[in-house]
Structure 1
Amino acid sequence: MVRPPLSKADRARGVRLGAQLRAARGERTAVEVASAAGISVETLRKIEHGRIPTPTFFTVVAIARAVQMPVDRLCVD
């Protein structure tokens, strides 16, 4: 199955999600949050900067938990 290309709206939504997660990280380093979430620092940075506009649900939940943010606050549409 071939995945259809992302729309501009999909990419913009990914940028907003990343900005929210980056803001929620606050003073914590990317290394601290990535470690707490069980993901690589590079993956966290890519999500925070919109280079992974559609991260998996479980990755988003892991990051949200690591920054102590309720997942429902991440609903960006």
Structure 2
Amino acid sequence: MAIELSFAKVLKSVRIKRKMSQEELAFRSDLDRTYISMLERGIHQPTIASLFALSKALNMKPSDMIRLVEIEIGEVDDRE
């Protein structure tokens, strides 16, 4: 699966798990709701600044979000 689609799936999954709307996530991360929508559809990829803003709004570390994407695309190294 392409990285942008994996990120999209992870972002939407975490947002829904946190019982947050796209609008609320946009407000908390100071990003536009349409940008959140495009991220969740795999149309755009986040910048590092956006990744940090989204992670903070979702109460998680950016590295944890990246780890979830790694798991989604199957690129997890079992040696860690």
State whether structure 2 residue 2 is matched by structure 1 residue 16. Answer: no
Name stretches of at least 5 consecutive residues in structure 1 with no aligned partner.
Answer: 1-8
Counterpart pick for 1:45 among 37, 40, 65? 37
Which of 25, 48, 58 is 2:49 aligned to? Answer: 58
In structure 2, how many angstroms separate the alpha carbons of the residues matched to 1:60 and 1:48?
13
In the superposition, the TM-score normalised over structure 1's length comes to 0.76
- How far the C-alpha of 1:74 sits from its partner, in A, is 2.3
1 CA distance for matches of 2:51 and 2:34? 14
Q: Is this contact kept in 2: 1:21–1:64, CA < 8 A? A: no
Count of matched residue pairs = 66
Coordinate RMSD, CA, aligned: 1.4
Give me the TM-score of the superposition, normalised by structure 2.
0.74
Amino acid at match of 1:33: L
Which runs of 5 or more residues in structure 2 are unaligned? 76-80
Q: What percentage of aligned pairs have identical amino acids?
A: 18
CA distance, structure 2, for counterparts of residue 48 and residue 69 of structure 1: 17
